[in-house]
Amino acid sequence: MRLGWAAGRVLAKEGKGPVIIGKDTRISGYMFESALEAGLSAAGVDIRLIGPMPTPGIAFLTQNTRAQAGIVISASHNPFQDNGIKFFCTNGKKLPDTIEFAIEAELDKSMDVVSSSKLGKAERIEDAPRRYIEYCKSRIATDMDFSSLRIAIDCAHGATYHIAPHVFEELGAEVISIGVNPDGININKGYGATAPDNLAQAVSDKQADLGIALDGDGDRLIMVDSKGEVVDGDEALYIIAATRVETLNGAVVGTQMSNLGLERAIESLDLGFLRSAVGDRYVMELLEQRGLKLGGESSGHIINLNLASTGDGIISALQVMESMMASGRSLYELKNGMIKYPQKLVNIKLDRRVNLGEFPAIGHAVKEVENELGNSGRVLLRPSGTEPLVRVMVEGEDDVQVNTLAHSLADRVQQVLQSPV
């Protein structure tokens, strides 16, 4: 409630438009929604409630309704016990830093309420799902027809449950839907982009041409091909780039965790490949800094600024399917244009956060592994941003070598970090 009030105080000085509030399907969303609504109203700001809606759908509706801001109540791919709040500004992108800092400053102040006559009013946008469905459909060529495709869609019992099946059905596809029965506590539980086994089984059982897995808030995409093999975000990003080279301003953005095979495949398209820090916000920052259009993460966050202001799982899936139809090739065939390098990730648990730069012995150990890999691999050490972990990643051409080097490097790093200073 205090956050809603603080945001309302700042936004009331910026303009006079309403603020949209949307959420995913987790049970605590009811509580967060009511509290935010109360805080915004107390600050004199009008509210538009849209109920369960994918995060990218809220970004779109913030633009579409000319709202001052959009608020998403969601913890994305996390379990139902978690929840969080994200803001979009009127153009469907993140709030400017100046606005964020101003809201933080208001949070420290004593909360008061505007006079009764100036309280904000709340209304519900009843046609929000239909607006977003039509928007998604408009992101691909108007003559695109998916009537030859049978697809399985897994909505993770999340915010896309009443959106995604309609998008693909209305474009002609035969749709088999799973993960579309949210009960407030089953979001992401055994379904969706982080758990594609049920989708792979559905593709196999129903002899579907492909499967689409979205996460709880609908901004992440993982796919399954007709052979039941998982197609991750790196492979989807490559497929999208391969048929849109001329629209990409010369380069594609990945992250430090993007597979080396993606980098090689993008370079084979005569495009540059840039790496940002891990996280879709950093992908977006690099895209905007360099004037680029396409980027993403192996986890399935894909951003195409030619089509949307933020990452969108449904729109990403539509782009991949459009590539299939345009090329006359299956998803299995298209993904094989990129050869994934074996990659091994080992987590080292610590009892404290550390600065790896303070340990020269770790730098020497990394250099030794890099020398052994040569130009056919890479090493990444990355402290977790949310917990006391160091992630050790080794990537190369030979699976056995990669596994051996990753574990030996992890052992060496752990020894150094646990040694008395």
Q: What is the pLDDT of residues 270-299, one digit of tens each?
A: 999 999 998 898 999 999 999 999 999 999
At residue 385 the predicted structure's pLDDT band, cuts being 50, 70 and 90, is low
Distance of CA 142 to the CA centre of its chain: 26
- Give pLDDT, residue 128: 97
Q: What is the tens place of the pLDDT at every residue in 210-239?
A: 999 999 999 999 999 999 999 999 999 999
Q: Specify whether 191 is located in the same domain as 289.
A: yes
Q: How many domains does the chain have?
A: 3
- Give pLDDT, residue 15: 74
Q: What's the average model confidence in pLDDT over 88-115?
A: 92
Give yes or no for a contact between 174 and 181, defined as CB atoms under 8 angstroms apart: no
Q: What is the tens place of the pLDDT at every residue in 31-47?
A: 999 999 999 999 999 99
Rg of the chain over Cα atoms, rounded to whole angstroms, equals 23
Q: Which of 272, 304, 335 is the last residue of a domain?
A: 335
Q: Specify whether 148 is located in the same domain as 116.
A: no
Structural domain containing residue 158 = 132-335
Q: What's the average model confidence in pLDDT over 396-411?
A: 94
- Give pLDDT, residue 162: 98
Helix (H, G, I), strand (E, B) or coil at 398: coil
Q: Specify whether 17 is located in the same domain as 117.
A: yes
At residue 383 the predicted structure's pLDDT band, cuts being 50, 70 and 90, is confident
Single out the catalytic residue among 76, 276, 298, 299.
76
Q: Specify whether 8 is located in the same domain as 114.
A: yes
* Side-by-side strand order, sheet with 343-349: 343-349, 389-395, 378-383
What's the CATH number where 377 sits?
A: 3.30.310.50
Q: Specify whether 18 is located in the same domain as 120.
A: yes
State yes or no: pLDDT of 353 exceeds 80. no
Q: Which of 302, 335, 368 is the last residue of a domain?
A: 335
Q: Which of 77, 100, 126 is the last residue of a domain?
A: 126
What's the CATH number where 54 sits?
A: 3.40.120.10
Q: Specify whether 178 is located in the same domain as 304.
A: yes
**Up-side HSE of residue 260: CA atoms within 13 Å toward CB?**
18
Q: Specify whether 119 is located in the same domain as 140.
A: no
Q: What's the average model confidence in pLDDT over 141-145?
A: 92
- Give pLDDT, residue 376: 87
Residue 388 one-letter amino acid? P
Q: How many CB atoms lie within 10 A of CB 207?
A: 8
Q: Among residues 325, 55, 332, 384, which one has the least CA distance to residue 216?
A: 55
Q: Specify whether 363 is located in the same domain as 237.
A: no
Q: Is 34 a catalytic residue?
A: no
Give yes or no for a contact between 134 and 37, defined as CB atoms under 8 angstroms apart: no
Q: Specify whether 159 is located in the same domain as 30.
A: no
Q: Specify whether 195 is located in the same domain as 325.
A: yes
Q: What is the Cα–Cα distance from 254 to 284, expressed in whole angstroms?
A: 10
Q: Specify whether 141 is located in the same domain as 233.
A: yes
Q: What's the average model confidence in pLDDT over 87-92?
A: 92
Q: Among residues 58, 38, 234, which one has the least CA distance to residue 135?
A: 58
